[in-house]
């Protein structure tokens, strides 16, 4: 592993930094709000027009063919600039790697440019009321129809579902199958007949979540991703992206750790000395995640798969995010409780808002208990119970 960046990588960083510093809006209303959502989409369009939306993708789809190291650099610069949360996240970070791996050329040409330019926004439809950690117990089904499939069932906890155009999910296509067999990965148009999207309010009052009811909605054969009946292995490719690198790159946590240091510096005269240790520890944890990621990336470049490492990374980033925000709340004391956007709230109240979201990190993308099971079995080789 070489920890020095090349001249070309440094030039890429400088170009990204210059553009983001000049163009990134800093104080948009929250993404999952009626007033914030269109502004975030407008920002996505600007990123796309300037070829910063999907830097690692082929040029034909609006990318720059950046290497994985350059992509990590871009992410660092994106968060360093305080740029907005990505409205296209479910598509570009979760579905796209799966479309690149399993999609036909026709599907790639049709789906990827519209995803990159934010013309089509995606949500993930995996969880069901009776199937979360044990996803293989899902009961939503697809029945054969002329030229495609008709869907029946219910999905839930679809992030940004109320604002999305399309949903990717897995459905039981073989009624006699059990567990991981007989499932198929499908791409669903949320405006189709037979689809009802109902918002679910979140703890912070926003309505980004949705439950999706399917009552005979049609999915054409062209929108089946991968082979019929092979949905589980296609879905697991998406899960690897979600837990590992693409969803939560180190740049996000390095930027939060830096904000924490600045908050501590501003308030150091008013707070307990012991907080200094915790702030230093948070910086080290963020830096450790960066170094571990570089090590994993080096292995990917050499042709290895990330595999179960994504479970280690998921536990680290999600627990670090909670600790980062808890440290900030302890520095802020009673000021932490001022609601987002209220008069006198420090940094608009971002720390409490971020804390409420961080609490969900150990749950989404596969709970940390499940990740610990995977580490026990696949990395440590402990017996299955």
Ligand X SMILES: Cc1cc2nc3c(=O)[nH]c(=O)nc-3n(C[C@H](O)[C@H](O)[C@H](O)COP(=O)(O)OP(=O)(O)OC[C@H]3O[C@@H](n4cnc5c(N)ncnc54)[C@H](O)[C@@H]3O)c2cc1C
The residues carrying an active-site annotation are 242
State phi, psi for 197 to the nearest 5 degrees.
Answer: -110, 120
Q: Which of 117, 159, 308, 318 binds ligand X (CB under 6 A)?
A: 159
Q: How far is the CB of 365 from ligand X (least distance, A)?
A: 7
Nearer to ligand X, 142 or 158 (CB): 158
Catalogue the E-assigned strands of 179-235: 183-189, 195-200, 209-220, 224-225
Are the C-beta atoms of 198 and 217 separated by less than 8 Å?
Answer: no
Q: Is 375 in the site for ligand X (CB under 6 A)?
A: no
Q: Segment contacting ligand X (CB under 6 A): 29-37, 73-81, 345-353, 368-376?
A: 368-376
Nearest one of 326, 323, 333, 322 to 271, comparing CA atoms: 333
Residues 13, 5: Cα–Cα separation, whole Å? 10
Closer to ligand X by CB, 293 or 318: give it: 318
Q: Nearer to ligand X by C-beta: 178 or 369?
A: 369
Q: Which of 363, 375, 376, 377 is the binder for ligand X (CB under 6 A)?
A: 363
Contact call for residue 230 and ligand X (CB under 6 A): no
Write the secondary structure of 280-321 as one string of H (helix), E (strand) and C (coil).
HHHHHHHHHHHHHHHHHHHHHHCCCCCCCHHHHHHHHHHHHH
As measured in angstroms, the least distance from the Cβ of 158 to ligand X is 5
Q: How far is the CB of 113 from ligand X (least distance, A)?
A: 23
Nearer of residues 117 and 159 to ligand X, judged by Cβ:
159
Strand partners for 212: 155, 197
Q: Which two tokens stand for residue 168?
A: 């990717």
Q: With binding defined as CB under 6 A, does residue 370 bind ligand X?
A: yes
Q: How far is the CB of 159 from ligand X (least distance, A)?
A: 3
3-state secondary structure of 19: helix
Rounded to whole angstroms, how far apart are CA atoms 169 and 214?
12
Q: Is 324 in the site for ligand X (CB under 6 A)?
A: no
Cα 305 to Cα 232: distance, rounded to the nearest angstrom? 18
* Closest to 51 in 3D by CA, of 147, 104, 117: 117
Residue in 367, 375, 376, 377 binding ligand X, rule: CB under 6 A: 367
Indicate which single residue of 133, 177, 196, 342 sits in contact with ligand X (rule: CB under 6 A). Answer: 133
Q: Does 158 bind ligand X (CB under 6 A)?
A: yes
For 343, the 3-state DSSP assignment is coil
At closest approach, how far in Å is the CB of 132 from ligand X?
2
In terms of CB distance, is 125 or 153 closer to ligand X? 125
- Specify the stretch interacting with ligand X by CB under 6 A; choose among 51-59, 63-71, 190-198, 362-370: 362-370
* Structural contact between residues 162 and 210, judged by C-beta atoms closer than 8 angstroms: yes
Q: Which is nearer to ligand X, 169 or 251 (CB)?
A: 169
Strands 183-189 and 166-172: what pairing?
antiparallel
Q: Which long-range contacts (CB under 8 A, 24 or more apart) does 281-284 make?
A: 282/257, 282/320, 282/323, 282/324, 282/327, 283/257, 283/258
- Build a one-symbol-per-residue string for 90-129: x at contacts with ligand X by CB under 6 A, - elsewhere: ---------------------------------xxxxx--
* 157 touching ligand X, by CB under 6 A: yes
Binding site for ligand X (CB under 6 A): 123-127, 132-133, 157-159, 360, 363-364, 366-367, 369-370, 373
């Amino acid at each position: 592993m070489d920890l020095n960046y090349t001249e070309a990588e440094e030039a890429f960083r400088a170009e990204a930094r210059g553009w983001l510093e000049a163009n990134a809006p800093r104080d948009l209303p929250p993404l999952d709000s009626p007033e914030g959502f269109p502004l975030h989409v407008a920002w996505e369009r600007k990123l796309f027009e300037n070829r910063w939306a999907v830097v690692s993708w082929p040029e034909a789809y609006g990318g720059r063919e950046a290497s994985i190291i350059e992509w990590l650099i871009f992410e660092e610069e994106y968060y360093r600039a305080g740029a907005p949360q990505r409205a296209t996240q479910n598509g570009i970070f979760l579905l796209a790697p799966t479309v690149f791996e399993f999609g036909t050329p026709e599907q790639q040409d049709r789906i990827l440019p519209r995803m990159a330019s934010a013309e089509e926004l995606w949500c993930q439809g995996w969880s069901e009321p009776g199937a979360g950690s044990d996803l293989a117990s899902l009961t939503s089904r697809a029945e054969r129809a002329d030229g495609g499939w008709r869907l029946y069932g219910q999905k839930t906890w679809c992030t940004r579902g109320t604002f999305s155009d399309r949903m990717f999910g897995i459905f039981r296509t073989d009624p006699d199958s059990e567990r991981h067999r007989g499932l198929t990965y499908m791409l669903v148009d949320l405006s189709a007949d037979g689809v009802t999207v109902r918002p679910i309010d979140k703890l912070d009052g926003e309505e980004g979540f949705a439950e999706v009811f399917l009552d005979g909605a049609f999915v054409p054969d062209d929108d089946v991703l991968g082979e019929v009946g092979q949905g589980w292995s296609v879905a697991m490719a998406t899960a690897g992206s979600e837990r590992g690198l693409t969803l939560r790159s180190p740049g996000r946590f390095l930027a939060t750790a830096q904000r924490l240091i600045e908050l501590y510096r501003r308030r150091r005269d008013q707070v307990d000395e012991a907080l200094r240790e915790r702030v230093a520890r948070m910086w080290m944890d963020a830096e450790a995640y960066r170094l571990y990621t570089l090590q994993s990336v080096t292995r990917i470049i050499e042709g290895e798969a990330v595999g179960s490492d994504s479970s280690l990374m998921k536990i680290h980033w999600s627990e670090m995010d909670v600790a980062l925000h808890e440290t900030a709340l302890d520095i802020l004391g009673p000021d932490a409780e001022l609601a987002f956007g209220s008069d006198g709230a420090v940094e608009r109240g971002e720390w409490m808002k971020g804390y409420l979201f961080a609490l969900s990190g150990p749950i989404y993308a596969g709970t940390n208990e499940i990740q610990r099971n995977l580490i026990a079995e696949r990395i440590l080789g402990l017996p299955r119970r």
